[in-house]
Structure 1
Amino acid sequence: MKSASIVTAATLLVLGLGVSPATAAPDGPPQPGPHAVVGHLAHPMDGHVAEDETEDLTDAAQQYSDIRNAPGLTAANPQAYYSGQQQGQKLPVLPGSWQEVTNQPYQSDAPDYRDPNWSNSTAGSGHVSGRVSALAVDGSRTVYVGAADGGVWRSDDRGAHWQPLWDNMPSLAIGAVAVDPADHSVYVGTGEADFSGDSLGGDAIYRSADRGRSWQRIGQSFFGLRTARIVLDGVGHIYAATSFGVLRHDLRDWSAPWTTVLAPATGAETSFATDVRIRPGSNGSVVAATVVNHGVNPGAVNGFYLSTTGGGPGTFSQQTAGGDLANADIGRSTFTWNANGSALYAVVQNAANTGLLTGVFRADSGRPAGPWTKIADTPSLVKAGAQGCGGCQGWYDQYVAADPADPNHVYLGLEDVYETSDRGASWQVIGPYWNFGLPCWSSDLSKLTCPPTTHADQHAVAFGSDGVAYFGNDGGVYSRAAALRGVVKWNNLNEGLHTLQYYSVGAGRVAGGDAIWGGLQDNGVSLLLPGAKEQVSPFGGDGGQVIVDPRNGMRAVNEYVHLSTARTQNGGRSDFTTPSYTTMSPSCDNPVPGTVADPCDPGSLFIAPYSADIANIDHWVAGGRYVWDNQGKGWGTTCGPTACDWKNVHDTGAQMTAVVAKGDTIYAAWQYRDAAHVYHSGIDTNFGGSWHRLATPSLPARYITSISLDPLRAGHLYISFGGYTDQWVPGAGKGHVFESGDGGASWTDDTGALPDLPTTSLVQWNGLLAAATDAGVYVRLAGQWFKLGTGLPNASGQQLVVAPEGTALLLATHGRGLWSYGVRR
């Protein structure tokens, strides 16, 4: 999920904590010891850079997976999602339409929002959108974008304006896009292949003959598909590098099934093809691919494969790489031949697909067997000026791409964007991870001379026929003339690309309407004020949950990962000299030097839960391993090494997934896996006066995503569950929504006809119970479930809240921004 990179998190120095082994709690769950915080995040003035993010990325991936797959250790049957989606389409629809809230540009460098601890403003990314995993260019003006759970978009003016083409398709997760220059047809492979924790699988590969106005599925469905590349060989075939191996289809009879031409292992994702390429000038006869066993025993099939007889079934042979790649550790890899096909380039991650870059290589033979010469690795890239970690996330963000007009000119995308004009003899950073730490950066805006850069974490690149190159990353799309060499000069193309990946949303009243806040994957926390032409980002990094005062939308609590919280009373406005945020986190992972509480919480989730009392906006509760209570201190809450208003009121011995309060009563949902990797979840509460663990034999053992308390009736609450039922996951139990009228002593299954989908959020609204899922929002009225409204893109819902005036709902999606239903005043 990241997962995603947290290197862009805050301009802070993260303090690493030692690792201690887990021990068993008296009531069963393990007691997690403090875990290391890796990734050294720099304050902009001290010049340090990020080194390693593997642990946080793993935490994010595990949380996103557990929400959707627990109690299973691996992904649920991918057909489960599409079955649930179809169930939802059969329900009656309540009238009304969803309206897009975040249809303004999102400015990550707003000059009035530069908190010295928590803002990423002046990092240089400018307008940002969500993760772009695929790009294709048709001629000189038309650009296609494939986004992470954001669908496909088209621009007919080189990225100045964008149009969504995919909102109602079965899967908005896009892995690859290609254009046939012969007839301008467009090909889209669904399912991201970035190996990130928050990436979703797809269902098929599609074709459009009318520039995206309509789409036709090619061949059969592939539920759970991940598509890394689509290429055309120019002689009548299309190839797709996928999680099912390398697939091929003739450019005719689109209903015919795909042919699997390369899949050296059997089983789910055991022949994950991370790239496929056609050698220029070979008339389609020479096809190269790289395959990774994403399961067990990766070394058996990992490596490069070659067909010299047209890429048909049985024509590929595994290559024994020579030279500097002899006996090397080959994991996720991407290829490119240079413009005339004389040399082949590869960027190679380690076989375990962890935080180690094997290197960047060139084969002057033009063959995957080599011999290969190493032309870059992490130390040399750091020496060349890397602001990021020089390849520690190559399993997530990587590409190598040759300029079609110059055989010596090659781009490399890792965390930064690199360029060589001499075949890898030297490298320049042309897209710095950020501008912090560079000599051109200054906290004094009058002395800030850094040019705008790209967002960090690179995923895609494509070339137009006019010599313009387009680049996709965690912040959207940027372009530059390929003729530019060795300089940082970028065109930002994100103004109209609405693909933001939210985890959360909250709102409060201000003059003229609502101030709307939301936490995002790798793009901090956004703030949209009434009538504003832009959203701003007062808070950087990965943005988690938010608390917003409904009476005063300038007052908010924002979260960086692992329960690192800070509060603001002025909407995050700062000129970099006076902090707008007060750090007041009970987490051991709090990254602000000198503010870590003692004692602190060692066991919070990547996106950790906290919320305001439903009857008192100044009373907050938060959950890691422990339940924390701010004792009603509200926006006066402080916390540090010598004194902390957060009081530890209960030890769950696990990790909390949801926590809510009404007065003195608190409910805390938790999860853990035991020594045998068996998943457990449950609820602790002090309802009735003392803390106890609820006996929940009738509840499923899945991730509890939300708890909704009745504001009028004590002990009346609803809970929602992620994942899928035991129809798809053994041991998962039944149901997604449950109700209790006696404080959790007994439960009633209210799921009814609600689709069997991960249910991520519940709210009570005007007598209705509303539920957000991975495919739509549903409401329960008089015991029956309805689909709520029309016009909502098919992106996964993350959080549902009631707007302050009570007449509208706000929904955070993880790929298509924020949406509202009802009337917002």
Structure 2
Amino acid sequence: MDRTDEPGREEMRNLRMYLLFFLVFFIIMGVISALSFGTAMDPVSVDDVELDSALFKNLSWRNIGPANMVGRISDVEGVPGDPNIVYVGSASGGVWKTTNGGTTWTPIFDGQPVASIGDIALEPGNPDVVYVGTGESNVRNSVSFGNGVYKSTDGGHTWNYLGLKDTEHISRIVINPNNTDVVYVGALGRAFGPNAGRGVFVSRDGGKSWEKTLYKDEWHGISDMDINQKNPNILFAGLWRFVRRPWTFESGDKGGGVFRSVDGGRTWSKVTEGLPELIGRIGIKIAPSNPDVVYAMTESPEGTLYRSDDGGKSFRRVSEDKQIVSRGFYYTDLRVDPVDENRVYAVSSRLHVSIDGGKTFRRISSSTHVDFHALWIDPENPGRMWQGQDGGIAVSYDRGANWDYVNNICAAQFYQIYADNREPFYYVGGGLQDNGVWYGPSRNKETFGILKADWRMISFGDGFHVTCHPDNPDLFISERQGGGIVRTDMNTREQQDVSPQPRRADGAPVSELEYRFNWNTPIIPSPHDKKTIYVGSNVVFKSLDFGSTWEVISPDLTTDDPEKQKAAGGPAWPENTTAEYYCTIISLAESPVQPGVIWAGTDDGQLHVTMNGGNEWENVVNSIPDLPSYTPVSHVEPSLTSAGMAYATFDRHMLDDFSPYVYRTSDFGRTWVDITGNLPDNAYVWVVREDPVRPQIIYAGTELGLFVSFSRGTYWVKFHMKNLPTVAVHDILLHPRDKDLILGTHGRGIWIFDDVSFIRGIYKELLEKEAHLFRIRTAIRYAEKATRYGIGDREYTGENPPYGALLTYYLKDRIDDSKDLRIDIYDKDKKLIRRITGLPSEKGINRAVWDLRETAPRQRIEIEQEENFFSRGPRGPLVLPGIYTVRLVLKGQAYKEELTVEADPTVEVSHDDLELQHKYASDLCSMQSCVNDGLRAFDTLLEQLKERKNTILKQTNKFPEEVMDAIDSHIQEIMQIQDLLTKPEGAPFWTEGPRLIERLSALFQSIDSVNKAPTRAQQSYFSELKQEFEAAMIQINAYLGERA
């Protein structure tokens, strides 16, 4: 059947002619005054321009998760007696809040300049007053920093900054329960060097001003603090000396210890009786039920738990069990049951409980992640407890006997990420802090989005680099801390240790090993050979068989300083977890332009390059101007266009210098240009990436977020757009096929900006135009399908992009009248098949979406309908694969681009089959339009007849009975016809069978929901419906024609 003979076209012409006569007739008779019918819709380089980030403020990122592995939690605070409200502080992902007991969570701190949280405190009796101390106090090698204290008086909706910028790491905030204007802040201070922002700070006016009352020197800070709830003049604080360097840390001395105040924190005295002299980190807690009982958890060679029964005047040792402390600098924390002074919880690598005042402990919470940092116990219901660890949060309602793992917060801490090229949608994954290596889809065909079940763990441990084999995207090389490299086949579940050095030295100094592998060992694939892998230790290893065998291709490229290869930790406790392994390679890259050009950067500030595959290496670091000596090389990025060009970033934050350092060379490192430009002072840089198409564009991932330069680094613009929160960006990818910009953040999971290619089209001349439509990425036509059902609201779902083609355009000025802006879509025959109105119309760059569908059927009633699993709004047929023309029209001026639509490459279907499907779907849409036009006409007639009847009844008590009968007869006849066409309004689908319009719609959705030709049964049913449709149109026209 030719398109010109599609069903309903002749009937539609007749229907409209009859309706015209009928309208004239009704107007003459005075029954109605007007009748309206819906109809179908009418057929410069910016390298020298300092762009403002406001240009991109209308655009949004999407967060794909995952939430399976939440990331390190620094604090959990609940409301006594209220199981619904809970606040969670993330080590590097801000503050989250639930108001429904953990079913859903909202990030409430995203607009602030820092994301690391140390402690949260709620005002007693008024949980809407929230204090947040920024900068976590678990000062491991990957710790971020804070900038002081924030306060909210409306439950976290808005925040006020209260100062204390130099504290950087806040361990505890306590509030006087009798006078809530009195607030105490325990500050640890800088983690990597000395400063005066340490000690106990007291405010007596709700945070408006602060006084430092406990302070020893620039090296001692506060590890913990507590207040006597019954006598708030009594407080305790743990004073701790700690400093971290890249190769070691020092914890403890004889100058720290437990301090006590009896005058509300004005003065402090050191408690020595019964406590060890050499002491590291301290956890201090007062038993709420009996304030005479005070516990001190200590990092000390003499003991781990001390108890006081005289209000903290003296202590006695009750435990030497090191398991309740585990790693002294990282844990050393405890809680006391609110109603039982002898029930003590040790918050450590494992969660332990004692019921005999600390003499013995047993482990609880074996079903959750390990490495605990937070525990909140409801003082009104001690059975309800919330815990926080390196893997997220969990809640217990039976004092820790059983736990519900509430992993629906996305605070994942990625170090590195990767992406493959599988079709139709690539997968992305990476290594996470203490949560292994995972991978999952960048998008999927699920109507619910990306679920936790879509993610799979590749390998265990602290996860870092990972790469997959180009020919087998389920075959991986990945690593855990300290060079633990494995090869994993996710199809067979076989995993083999393929590290060049199987021997490990966990617990011992790195000097005991032949080769030194960093905590975060670089593993990179060669861009020139699919089986070649490089790994960096203190030398460069090369494998030609995807990790089965290795050869050394370099000498030791580090300083090999023996003073920086000794045991870490002390003097309180030693610790060697590979986190302090030093004199190692931490960045490695091969030029994609010239094989054999390899760059290697080290943590002790060496930068080497070879131009012959490793036969000869040259140290080029001394050619870099104004770079302090021994600065770690955080990343090397070879140019995608020139073999001699490369970018290098340097990170000195672990040397107590948070400044960014970014350089570029164009001659293999002989000379360098500083391109740090206007990056913020504290935005130390983790990674830079060069745009693969327009190399002037550089992306920088920093501790404060993402920045982009259009001028190779002379000027930088923050690139957070509408919704990327403040978070450290540790890795960046630009997908070569899909043109997506992918971020691996250390605190908020993976974020994707779909199709960033528009940025390559921004030029100075463009910004002077009234409008501009950017080039459009190829769109994939695929079928969506829900494979889960009834997932509830607690399930975390990663966001899929909207279905269809992304249309990105620039507006020089805001468009106030929506009628002035539209998008028209034309097919290859220059036929208008879709018009999109109501577009985003803000000044700057905007984005709209075309869902690859033609104009939807005209509706009986034009309503906005929320789409869900059961119901979707009116839709036209999916377009065929091919080339389409997109026109952005602003006040009559058109801006045009072509769009290619392709079929799902994973589905085998012929173009003829898709054409047949399209013909049937289009015919069904046309029939729906005709039926709905008739229904809409009848609706109007019914309304006017009923109004006329009511008017007559009001105007006179007597009216010819035959007139009233005629009106009632018309009403009844119309309703009978309508009943043949559609179900009664509001009838549940199981009480009334489908009528014509419902059957047409159902068959349309059935045929249009896949990439297949209609089945024979569907074609037969279509013929049946067509006959029913034609009969219905005859009946409609006959009724209207008799009265025209």
TM-score (norm 1): 0.72
- Aligned mate of 2:99, from 148, 156, 170: 156
Please tell me the root mean square deviation across aligned C-alpha atoms, in Å: 2.9
Structure 1, gaps ≥5 residues long = 1-87, 107-127, 351-355, 379-388, 433-452, 593-598, 639-643, 674-679
Structure 2, gaps ≥5 residues long = 1-49, 189-197, 244-249, 445-449, 507-511, 560-583, 757-779, 781-1044
Contact 1:508 1:551 in 2 (8 A): no
Could you say which residue in structure 2 is the equivalent of 1:747?
A: 672
The 5 A counterparts of 1:690-701 are: 690-695=615-620, 696-699=622-625, 700=627, 701=629
Could you say which residue in structure 2 is the equivalent of 1:802?
A: 734
Could you say which residue in structure 1 is the equivalent of 2:345?
A: 411
| CA apart distance, 1:175 | 0.6
- Per-residue deviation, residues 355-387 of structure 1 (Å, max 9, x unmatched): x683112212231x3231313522xxxxxxxxx
Contact 2:280 2:328 in 1 (8 A): no
Could you say which residue in structure 1 is the equivalent of 2:303?
A: 358
Query: Which amino acid letter does the alignment assign opposite residue 317 of structure 1?
Result: S
SS in 2 for 1:294: strand
Q: Distance in 1 between matches of 2:651 and 2:346?
A: 38
- Aligned mate of 2:638, from 691, 709, 717: 709
Q: Distance in 2 between matches of 1:564 and 1:425?
A: 38
| 2:545 maps to 1:625 | no
Could you say which residue in structure 2 is the equivalent of 1:533?
A: 451
Q: Distance in 1 between matches of 2:504 and 2:259?
A: 46
| CA apart distance, 1:549 | 4.3
| 2:124 maps to 1:181 | yes
Could you say which residue in structure 2 is the equivalent of 1:248?
A: 202
- Aligned mate of 2:239, from 288, 291, 296: 291
Q: Distance in 1 between matches of 2:660 and 2:505?
A: 39
| CA apart distance, 1:743 | 2.1
| 2:116 maps to 1:204 | no
Structure 1 residues 541 and 89, CA, compared in 2 at 3 Å: closer, same or farther?
A: farther
Structure 1 residues 374 and 199, CA, compared in 2 at 3 Å: closer, same or farther?
A: same
- Aligned mate of 1:580, from 486, 494, 497: 494
Contact 1:519 1:544 in 2 (8 A): yes
| CA apart distance, 1:172 | 0.7
Could you say which residue in structure 1 is the equivalent of 2:176?
A: 233
| CA apart distance, 1:724 | 7.1
Contact 1:669 1:684 in 2 (8 A): yes
Q: Distance in 2 between matches of 1:564 and 1:548?
A: 17
| 2:420 maps to 1:475 | no
Q: Distance in 2 between matches of 1:398 and 1:758?
A: 30
Q: Distance in 2 between matches of 1:498 and 1:395?
A: 26
Q: Distance in 2 between matches of 1:281 and 1:735?
A: 49
| CA apart distance, 1:706 | 1.8
Q: Distance in 2 between matches of 1:819 and 1:232?
A: 37
- Aligned mate of 1:310, from 251, 254, 264: 264
Contact 1:403 1:482 in 2 (8 A): no
Structure 1 residues 558 and 97, CA, compared in 2 at 3 Å: closer, same or farther?
A: farther
Q: Among the aligned pairs, what percent are the same residue?
A: 23
Contact 2:116 2:135 in 1 (8 A): yes
Q: Distance in 2 between matches of 1:735 and 1:199?
A: 17
Structure 1 residues 601 and 548, CA, compared in 2 at 3 Å: closer, same or farther?
A: farther
Contact 1:460 1:473 in 2 (8 A): yes
Structure 1 residues 554 and 301, CA, compared in 2 at 3 Å: closer, same or farther?
A: same
Contact 1:348 1:359 in 2 (8 A): yes
Contact 2:482 2:517 in 1 (8 A): yes
| 2:331 maps to 1:397 | yes
- Aligned mate of 1:506, from 399, 418, 423: 418
| CA apart distance, 1:214 | 0.5
| CA apart distance, 1:744 | 2.1
SS in 2 for 1:622: strand
Q: Distance in 2 between matches of 1:428 and 1:681?
A: 48
Q: Distance in 2 between matches of 1:274 and 1:194?
A: 9
Contact 2:273 2:314 in 1 (8 A): yes
- Per-residue deviation, residues 538-568 of structure 1 (Å, max 9, x unmatched): 2111011112346653232211122222223
- Aligned mate of 1:431, from 351, 362, 365: 365
- Aligned mate of 1:129, from 65, 70, 77: 70
Query: Which amino acid letter does the alignment assign opposite residue 266 of structure 1?
Result: D
Q: Distance in 1 between matches of 2:351 and 2:504?
A: 30
Contact 2:558 2:606 in 1 (8 A): no
| CA apart distance, 1:144 | 0.6
SS in 2 for 1:293: strand
Contact 1:568 1:580 in 2 (8 A): yes
Query: Which amino acid letter does the alignment assign opposite residue 563 of structure 1?
Result: G
Aligned length: 635
SS in 1 for 2:109: coil
Could you say which residue in structure 1 is the equivalent of 2:476?
A: 556
| 2:34 maps to 1:105 | no
Contact 1:508 1:514 in 2 (8 A): yes
Q: Distance in 2 between matches of 1:302 and 1:190?
A: 23
Could you say which residue in structure 2 is the equivalent of 1:641?
A: none
TM-score (norm 2): 0.57
The structure carrying a bigger strand percent of its residues is 1
| CA apart distance, 1:746 | 2.4
Contact 1:94 1:786 in 2 (8 A): no
Structure 1 residues 625 and 459, CA, compared in 2 at 3 Å: closer, same or farther?
A: same
The 5 A counterparts of 1:449-464 are: 453-464=367-378
Query: Which deviates more from structure 2 when the two are superposed, residues 392-401 or residues 517-526?
Result: 392-401
Q: Distance in 2 between matches of 1:518 and 1:797?
A: 13
Could you say which residue in structure 2 is the equivalent of 1:567?
A: 487
Could you say which residue in structure 2 is the equivalent of 1:372?
A: 316
- Per-residue deviation, residues 585-618 of structure 1 (Å, max 9, x unmatched): 21354699xxxxxx99611211011211223333
Q: Distance in 1 between matches of 2:535 and 2:340?
A: 56
Could you say which residue in structure 2 is the equivalent of 1:437?
A: none
- Aligned mate of 1:787, from 694, 698, 718: 718
Contact 1:321 1:371 in 2 (8 A): yes
Q: Distance in 2 between matches of 1:651 and 1:302?
A: 41
SS in 2 for 1:715: coil
| CA apart distance, 1:213 | 0.5
| CA apart distance, 1:417 | 0.8
Query: Which amino acid letter does the alignment assign opposite residue 585 of structure 1?
Result: S
| 2:595 maps to 1:669 | no
Could you say which residue in structure 1 is the equivalent of 2:1035?
A: none
SS in 2 for 1:617: coil
Contact 1:132 1:472 in 2 (8 A): yes
- Per-residue deviation, residues 522-549 of structure 1 (Å, max 9, x unmatched): 0001111353521222211101111234
The structure carrying a bigger helix percent of its residues is 2
Structure 1 residues 337 and 297, CA, compared in 2 at 3 Å: closer, same or farther?
A: closer
Query: Which amino acid letter does the alignment assign opposite residue 171 of structure 1?
Result: V
| CA apart distance, 1:143 | 0.7
Q: Distance in 1 between matches of 2:586 and 2:74?
A: 29
| CA apart distance, 1:186 | 0.8
Contact 2:370 2:391 in 1 (8 A): yes
Query: Which amino acid letter does the alignment assign opposite residue 507 of structure 1?
Result: A
| CA apart distance, 1:650 | 4.2
Could you say which residue in structure 1 is the equivalent of 2:217?
A: 266
| CA apart distance, 1:507 | 0.9
Contact 1:568 1:582 in 2 (8 A): yes
SS in 1 for 2:325: coil
SS in 2 for 1:102: strand
Query: Which amino acid letter does the alignment assign opposite residue 583 of structure 1?
Result: D
Query: Which amino acid letter does the alignment assign opposite residue 129 of structure 1?
Result: V
Contact 2:343 2:355 in 1 (8 A): yes
Q: Relative contact order (alpha carbons < 8 A, sep ≥ 6): 1 or 2 greater?
A: 1
- Per-residue deviation, residues 98-119 of structure 1 (Å, max 9, x unmatched): 534433431xxxxxxxxxxxxx
| 2:688 maps to 1:762 | yes
Structure 1 residues 290 and 541, CA, compared in 2 at 3 Å: closer, same or farther?
A: same
Query: Which amino acid letter does the alignment assign opposite residue 701 of structure 2?
Result: A
- Aligned mate of 2:228, from 255, 262, 279: 279
